[in-house]
Structure 1
Amino acid sequence: MAERTDYEYIVVGAGPAGVQMAYYMEKSKMDYLVVERADGPGSFYRKYPRHRNLISINKKYNVFPEPEFNMRHDWNSLLCDEEDPLLFTDYSEDLFPNAGLLVKYIEDFCKKYKTNIRYNTNITNVHRDEKSNGHKSRSRFTLTDEKGTTFTCRVLMIGTGPIVPHEPKIPGVELIDSYQEHSLDLEEYKNKKVCILGGGNSAFEVADHLAGSAGLIHMFNRHPVKFAWDTHFVGHLRAVNNNVLDMYHLKSLHALRQCEATRIWKTEDGKFSIEYDMHLPNWDPPGTGRFVTSGYDKIISCTGWKFLNIAMFDDSCKPEMHTEDKYPVLDEHWQSTVPDMYVIGTAMQARDRRAASGFIHGFRYNVRTLTNMLQNTYNSKELKKQIFSPIDQEEICNFVVKHISVVSGLYQMGQGFLCDVMLIKKDGDAKTDAPTAGRVEYLRELPQAWVKKQDWFMDAKMAIIITIEDTISKYPTLSATEFFTPGDANASNCKCSPFPQGVFRVYKNGKMAEELYIGGSLVVRADTRNFDGDTNPERYVNKVKNLFFRHTGIGKDGFYEQLFSPDMWPKVYRPWTQEEIAEQTKKEVDKLKKAQQFECSISILRPQVDVSDM
């Protein structure tokens, strides 16, 4: 019997995203195939990261017992609905484990759970035909592998991950080493002068590896380095890779330069020279200098990846790209500009530069959500929902506060990227403190941007969008990355919180009627006491009950929302005197003035300077 090659869904790539998709498609009995060019799953991690330590957190012990809560801090496991799931935390207790263990974990996942994956199948061409079927137009994709075998499908998903190195357009770049192929032998770098192009985690990963061997390291990046501890975005520079930065600030030879390389060449002595532009806003007059640094023994390009191999698609289905062809253009549910072609895995970060889509702990939730959305779109299955009927204020509000206290998907895909939706369908308008006829339909983990375009949401008389969001950006100033002063704990609407918190937005016929920030806590839970003496741990659910009553008239209102009871407040809180307020204000003003008093002593701008000895 000839091997079957036609499917409704085909996934290209059996990395963590492709395997996660296969797991959920198998459970949903969808007609699918995953094709993978290597001889096993997770092959990217056989080589990358080059220095083998993952930067995805592997925190096994988290105080709280709920498995769902613990997934917030397990960044490498795939999602699994079984009672005894296979977890990566059982493979290592290291906070940043060796990447080889992740390969073993993904292989074991495919052995334990049924998946339809065809290995050693390297797709080299993708073609799309638009065919008419009666009154409906129905596309088909044809995929051809390097052996000439063809596969066809109605819906195509690309999960190839970081597949093509993003090579900077610098004359002479072909002469230097790359992140993908540079030598890991530290003997080659002993007391050498090394230049690294790039300012992301891969560049700092290389620099960290070489920091003890190289005599001098210069890092060139055209943009300011963004730090994860400032931005709270997992894709920016992580502390685990910042030893070179530490040495730079402590004046230990290694250094960072914010500049743009314009040319590289090799000199007669076999060393490298690099020309670069540097913006100098503090010079007099401000301008741009063009400099040359010579004498590098090694230059290594660490400028990231492109997340689609655009050469794989012929003109019938070539998706649009952005950011120097690094990312595909995606709509609200990860569909590319080619109809019926979706992108999964780390490339989902094309729409998400604030949450965690670029890492397993983010895109695993996106993949689960997309599986449900695909069945809704192509197989006419309703989106999964939980029904509460009759509507009981106490039941629904307690449920949702407990849910956001442990849920991992909304937590990882915060900043409102994924959201839960409560559709409130009430019978009658009379206010009552008893359960009332009607129903609440609760839908989980949908892309918020997609939800707001759906007729069922825009036409809903009342809906509540629920997210978990980091609101640190709402602080007017924030100068310290290591310490956050809590916002006003007695505020009913805590828009300034140093910790992620539940956010409830009430919509009526598609228009927002109220926005409630319920407040955060150190452990990001709304169902526990924050500290000894926390006399009102129910304040979170009380805020939600009051909100629910304000807009539905169901149940009661007047629930107490403050941190402390009135009699407790003067026992734990001492307001500052006017003198203390003035002193604190002066400190902040002095700090701001100091930051603005930086002056550059160099006042002459030369068109080109050789700074070989810098």
Structure 2
Amino acid sequence: MAPQHCTGEKCEPVDYDYVIVGAGPAGLQMAYFLQKAGRQYVVYESHDKAAKFFEQHPRGRKLISLNKKNNFFEEETFNMRHDWNSLLSDDKEMKFTKYSDELYPDASDLHQYLNDYAHRFQLNVKYNTKVKKISKPDSTFTVCIEEAGGETTSCRATCVLMATGAMSENLPEDIEGIELADTYSKHDMDKDLYKNKMMLIIGGGNSAFETANHFSGSAGIVHVAFNKRIQFAWNTHHVGDLRAVNNNIIDMYHLKSLHSTIGSLVTKIAKNEKGKFVVTFKDLNTQWKVPGWLLFDMEYDHVISCMGWRYVNTQLFDEETINVELVKNNRYPKLSNCWETDTKNLFYIGTAMAAIDRKSASGFIHGFRYNIRTLFNLLEQRLFKQSLPHITLPTKDLDAVSKKIIERCTISDSLYQMNGFMCDVMVFDEKIGVTKYYTDLPFRHVMEKPEFKDAKHVFLLHLSYGFDKFGATAAPVDNVHAPDFSTNRCASFLHPYIEYYSHGEYVDQTELQESLIVRYDDWSNANFPQWTSSANENYIKYYINDKLKWSDKVFNLVPIPEEIASSIFIPLNEEEMSRLPPLWEKSECKPSQELLPRSPELVQKRHLRQPWRKYWTL
């Protein structure tokens, strides 16, 4: 049956329900779900293979995406928390973990895996087919393509999904002469060409430091220049920020091994008569009597710009019928909370999904694979009137609801990877006495949907970090102690939040305490398994007991009852209290403390030497 596009009572024939532009990991992932559902779709790929990007990138060939095969537990979804390269499917054999044993695998293995994935599921990919222009003359799209032989044709589709990935390198427009520099994608990788040379690498992200590390053993001096504070992944918990596997150059800088990082703004690049690059820097100096900018020049043999990517090529769109606004220095498309552009039924999938997510992993396979599955379900609802996937539980059997929450917190891969961005939704329907449990919806999109916004009792479950409650100066890497089990508020690492909404309005939230391995089953709480299950069950009862009438009992919302806490907690004695460093930060939760100093005199001495410190670490 040929697909149709319907608006109201009118239906028009179209060639495809969906056109996907690009056969990278995002395009292949969406194609899998569409094929499984029996939808009419096509993937247009300009190259002769899938995922061509990974034939060249990353340039150092080592991925920064984890391939951890041994995770102690057997649940498939739990293990997907630590498999960052596999696409989702029902075939347990189509896992990237079968392609490499390396924790940080080679990009060539990922390229092979993705092409095998396309072949294994016989996805409808048209290779050597370039999309020339996309327009929307009416309620459907017209996609003009150029095939391998040069023939130009077109097709009509209800929905277009842009899975184009990195379209071009980001060259900062405010650097005069930036066109003289090499780029991350095009620079020569032969280390001998840079032997004992002066190199400048512009950028503060993973590509810049990957490049610096590559040449650190051959180049004489490598400078990495960036005009903002480096965001370390261990602090931000964002996988796209600078990873430890790439930051050896910082170690070398602080151990004074010639290579350096420079926190100055590059303003100009020129070439002198010797063929050297003369680079002008602008550095902020605050120690002068009147703080100001210091301008200085340095000479280099090589300059490489590593400033990331742009994810939109607006020339693909007919400007009269399609509107795709650019954001974030024109690098990303402006997207709604369900990844839609300003043009209805035109979506971006894959790395561009990071346009609305800087908390979790939308810019990587292990994040956008879940986004794409969710978008598929949302489109099934919009275009084919399918219900969003959910299970139904009897509301009076709150134990079943609680067990489902514990199960999702314990083994869910999607909530884990898409922390702070994706959530589960529980709708308690008093009229029919059931609870509808929905999984994996964008947090900010939930209350845009009438079925959730209009409901009286709605609970959202998500995994998120809690470092914001410990004050601005509390470094996450300093928090190495057990959490405070006397409260359900002061958990710092990834842990569950349950939020309560009524008629679309936020009412309250509670949290479960953190678990070292983010499991909430009996394995994690072997001594007191009732701690977590009773906490979330009692919280839900607290808010809907007025209608369901379980009992008049006052429910405990604290993870550990006082009688249990007193048996496992030893208060500091008076002498130990005298050695406790002061906590200067006036935050909701107290930052983690290191071991007690040896004497009260040491506490006072360090306090006098460093009175500026907001909180104390030794």
Same fold (TM over 0.5): yes
Question: Would you say 1:332 and 2:337 are equivalent positions?
Answer: yes
C-alpha distance in structure 2 between counterparts of 1:160 and 1:546, whole Å = 47
Residue number among 197, 205, 219 corresponding to 1:192 in the alignment: 197
The CA deviation at 1:188 is: 0.7
**Does the CA-based 8 Å contact 1:307-1:327 persist in structure 2?**
yes
Q: For 1:20-59, what aligned pairs fall within 5 Å after superposition? A: 20-59=29-68
SS at match of 2:222: strand
**Does the CA-based 8 Å contact 2:134-2:141 persist in structure 1?**
no
The CA deviation at 1:591 is: 6.8
C-alpha distance in structure 1 between counterparts of 2:108 and 2:469, whole Å = 40
Partner of 2:229: 224
Partner of 1:102: 110
Q: Which has the higher contact order (CA 8 A, sep 6+)?
A: 1
SS at match of 2:513: strand
Pick which of 73-82 and 364-373 moved more: 73-82
Which amino acid is 1:311 matched to? Q
The CA deviation at 1:217 is: 0.6
SS at match of 2:315: helix
Per-residue CA distance 1:318-344 (angstroms, 9 max, x = gap)? 410012210000001000122211000
SS at match of 1:27: helix
C-alpha distance in structure 2 between counterparts of 1:210 and 1:374, whole Å = 47
Per-residue CA distance 1:508-544 (angstroms, 9 max, x = gap)? 111222201111110001113447xx63122111101
> In structure 2, do the counterparts of structure 1 residues 379 and 289 end up closer, same or farther at CA, with 3 Å as the change threshold?
same
C-alpha distance in structure 2 between counterparts of 1:506 and 1:11, whole Å = 37
Q: For 1:165-564, what aligned pairs fall within 5 Å after superposition? A: 165-169=169-173, 170-294=175-299, 296-316=300-320, 317-389=322-394, 391-415=396-420, 417-427=421-431, 438-476=433-471, 477-479=473-475, 481=477, 483-491=479-487, 493=488, 495-530=489-524, 535-553=527-545, 554=548, 555=550
Per-residue CA distance 1:425-481 (angstroms, 9 max, x = gap)? 124xxxxxxxxx611011111111111112221210101011111112221242461
The CA deviation at 1:358 is: 0.5
The CA deviation at 1:222 is: 1.3
C-alpha distance in structure 2 between counterparts of 1:562 and 1:505, whole Å = 16
> In structure 2, do the counterparts of structure 1 residues 77 and 482 end up closer, same or farther at CA, with 3 Å as the change threshold?
farther
SS at match of 2:408: helix
Q: For 1:585-604, what aligned pairs fall within 5 Å after superposition? A: 585-586=581-582, 590=606, 594=610, 596=612
Structure-1-length-normalised TM-score:
0.89
C-alpha distance in structure 2 between counterparts of 1:331 and 1:36, whole Å = 26
Partner of 1:72: 81
SS at match of 1:226: coil
Structure-2-length-normalised TM-score:
0.88
Residue number among 17, 36, 39 corresponding to 1:8 in the alignment: 17
C-alpha distance in structure 1 between counterparts of 2:72 and 2:607, whole Å = 39
Which amino acid is 2:83 matched to? D
SS at match of 2:371: helix
Question: Would you say 1:139 and 2:144 are equivalent positions?
Answer: no
C-alpha distance in structure 2 between counterparts of 1:387 and 1:221, whole Å = 52
Which amino acid is 1:524 matched to? V
Partner of 1:129: 137
Residue number among 96, 103, 109 corresponding to 1:88 in the alignment: 96
**Does the CA-based 8 Å contact 2:129-2:145 persist in structure 1?**
no
Which amino acid is 2:238 matched to? F
> In structure 2, do the counterparts of structure 1 residues 331 and 255 end up closer, same or farther at CA, with 3 Å as the change threshold?
same
Pick which of 103-112 and 139-148 moved more: 139-148
Pick which of 30-39 and 549-558 moved more: 549-558
Per-residue CA distance 1:544-599 (angstroms, 9 max, x = gap)? 111121122255666666666666544532112355344323487947973849xx
Question: Would you say 1:155 and 2:150 are equivalent positions?
Answer: no
Partner of 1:114: 122
C-alpha distance in structure 2 between counterparts of 1:459 and 1:48, whole Å = 47
**Does the CA-based 8 Å contact 1:190-1:214 persist in structure 2?**
yes
Partner of 2:587: none
Q: CA RMSD in A?
A: 2.1
C-alpha distance in structure 1 between counterparts of 2:281 and 2:117, whole Å = 48
C-alpha distance in structure 2 between counterparts of 1:587 and 1:342, whole Å = 48
C-alpha distance in structure 1 between counterparts of 2:249 and 2:69, whole Å = 29
Which amino acid is 2:508 matched to? E
**Does the CA-based 8 Å contact 1:489-1:563 persist in structure 2?**
yes
C-alpha distance in structure 1 between counterparts of 2:608 and 2:154, whole Å = 64
Identify unmatched segments of 5+ residues in structure 1: 131-137, 428-436, 598-614
The CA deviation at 1:390 is: 5.5
C-alpha distance in structure 2 between counterparts of 1:453 and 1:479, whole Å = 35
**Does the CA-based 8 Å contact 2:535-2:558 persist in structure 1?**
no
**Does the CA-based 8 Å contact 1:505-1:516 persist in structure 2?**
yes
SS at match of 1:68: helix
Partner of 2:8: none
The CA deviation at 1:307 is: 0.5
C-alpha distance in structure 2 between counterparts of 1:399 and 1:389, whole Å = 12
SS at match of 2:477: coil
Partner of 1:602: none
Task: Tell me the number of residue pairs that the alignment of Structure 1 and Structure 2 aligns.
Answer: 571
C-alpha distance in structure 2 between counterparts of 1:509 and 1:293, whole Å = 61
SS at match of 1:314: coil
**Does the CA-based 8 Å contact 1:535-1:563 persist in structure 2?**
no
The CA deviation at 1:497 is: 1.7
C-alpha distance in structure 2 between counterparts of 1:352 and 1:292, whole Å = 38
Per-residue CA distance 1:49-71 (angstroms, 9 max, x = gap)? 01100000110111111001010
Per-residue CA distance 1:204-224 (angstroms, 9 max, x = gap)? 010011111111011111111
**Does the CA-based 8 Å contact 2:495-2:515 persist in structure 1?**
yes
Pick which of 450-459 and 224-233 moved more: 450-459
**Does the CA-based 8 Å contact 2:395-2:428 persist in structure 1?**
no
SS at match of 1:410: helix
SS at match of 1:187: helix
**Does the CA-based 8 Å contact 1:545-1:559 persist in structure 2?**
no
C-alpha distance in structure 2 between counterparts of 1:304 and 1:549, whole Å = 49
> In structure 2, do the counterparts of structure 1 residues 592 and 367 end up closer, same or farther at CA, with 3 Å as the change threshold?
farther
> In structure 2, do the counterparts of structure 1 residues 204 and 99 end up closer, same or farther at CA, with 3 Å as the change threshold?
same
Identify unmatched segments of 5+ residues in structure 2: 1-12, 585-602, 614-618
Pick which of 147-156 and 89-98 moved more: 147-156
Which amino acid is 1:14 matched to? A
C-alpha distance in structure 2 between counterparts of 1:124 and 1:348, whole Å = 23
% same residue: 36
